[in-house]
Chain A
């Protein structure tokens, strides 16, 4: 990590790693993460460009629109630092850094959104929710542990990967198999969700409705099957459109109707 006079060490990259946690601190519709990106990379630019005018010019260059998945932004940061270093040392004076950022941010955004928000977070949440329902007070800590072991670990790993590879996103995807892992987390989430439906009335009495319906439906198995049926109906309604807020309000209205009809 040493090219001539412009030395970027592990300490510099760790500094960027910490600053990257604030990449969305000044998030705006106009520039999205650009100021956060600049804030993260600024100490490295200061080190690479001792000339004040060039330093300001490079900083201004990075203030252009930038937006990607905030965790995988660290990969772009790593790659950008590498290219800035090559440029500053004269190894690659013509490096197209804005082009690299523009090329990386959209695919990494889609990949990160799908992996972190669309599969890892639901998985960690449903596992912890299942355990919290049964009263395990440590379930929120487990949620944080499952999620952040990936989150923080990957933030650090992709920053260094981006730096050493110079922005080879294809190699990154091959190494971490995000798509396969996302598929696995989604399937495991669905399985645990099914488990929640099957055991909910037993696990927590608060979630056991006291419906005045005679016969076997009063039995816990009947309640579980009723819960499954209700869920399938709700999924079908959701596929036809409808926001969570509207459905929650609709559900509350249905409960009021049932209460005044004497069903509960």
Chain B
């Protein structure tokens, strides 16, 4: 099967267009969180016909990047580009349903791409200062029209940034996946384990940010509730989530934290 048939090329172009729109939500428009991996990953997976790959990638990347905050001038890693790219590379590189090793490899690839996305984000924000339209809005007689033009140009810059990144990342990733498929079995097993261990890294990253303790009491309480309920009483996930939320709420209420 050819690596880049017409269907794959159309899919790459489609993901670049949609991914660019999703990326606008990240900084430029609204910040409704459509750009979060937990939404973007499953959405792209569903578009390409492999929802499972999108769910796994969305879950893993959401846990890892959710507490990376855009505070002040700090530009965090672009988790949207990571989620969209990893899902598209895994599915398109597999020509169908992505296996766990391919998902792991795609996640690793996009981890390597993360510093590039940070660099490009920084360049765009610097370039925004020098936009001709922005400059005219500031220095010459400002008006609603010049401001609207500056805003539109800023939006275009943010859109084009991610659009071009996808056009570069996706074909490169698909080529890398085809090379990965020829690597020894041990590498494939390693990538499966990599996917399985990443949620623990994600939980650690969030727990470290939310609590000052290495072993947080509420983390342990939630663990105990879920471990007992799921194994002994076979409780459905929704009930377990509600129980852990209630446990946290009661703990805050009666542990002197609600003051």
Q: Which of A's residues lie within 8 Å of B, judged by CB?
A: 21-22, 24-31, 35-36, 38-39, 42-43, 46, 56, 59-60, 63, 67, 70-71, 109, 113, 117-119, 121-122, 124-137, 139-140, 143-144, 147-148, 151-152, 180, 183-184, 186-200, 202-203, 206-209, 220-221, 224, 227-228, 230-232, 234-239, 244-245, 247-249, 251-252, 255-256, 258-260, 264
Contact = CB atoms under 8 A, between A and B. Distances in A.
A187 B147 contact: no
Count class of interface residues, chain B: 35 or more
A260 B189 CA distance: 9
B12 to A, nearest CB: 23
Contacts of A221: 227, 231
Which 8 residue pairs spanning A and B have beta carbons closest together? Answer: A194-B222, A26-B154, A198-B226, A191-B248, A234-B204, A188-B248, A28-B128, A198-B227
Given A143-B33, A230-B197, A39 B147 contact: yes
A21 B29 CA distance: 6
Contacts of B178: none
Contact of A193 (B219, B257, B259): B219
20 contacts: A25-B152, A42-B144, A60-B142, A113-B71, A117-B69, A122-B206, A126-B66, A127-B245, A132-B38, A140-B38, A151-B33, A186-B210, A191-B219, A195-B226, A197-B200, A198-B224, A202-B230, A206-B196, A207-B199, A234-B201
B94 interface: no
Given A24-B28, A199-B240, A251-B194, A148 B222 contact: no
Contacts of A194: 218-226, 244
A25 B204 contact: no
Interface of B: 27-34, 36, 38-39, 42-43, 51, 55-56, 58-59, 62-73, 77, 100, 107-108, 111-112, 114-115, 125-129, 131, 134, 137-138, 141-144, 147-148, 150-155, 158, 186-187, 189-201, 203-211, 214-216, 218-231, 237-238, 240-241, 243-245, 247-249, 251-252, 257-259
B223 A232 contact: no
A190 B38 contact: no
Contact of B248 (A21, A192, A203, A234): A192
B190 A191 contact: no
A43 to B, nearest CB: 7
A192 B222 contact: yes
A59 B64 CA distance: 41
Given A113-B71, A135-B55, A258-B190, 17 more contacts: A24-B31, A31-B138, A35-B138, A125-B66, A183-B257, A187-B252, A191-B221, A192-B222, A192-B244, A195-B225, A202-B231, A206-B195, A209-B193, A232-B214, A235-B204, A249-B112, A264-B189
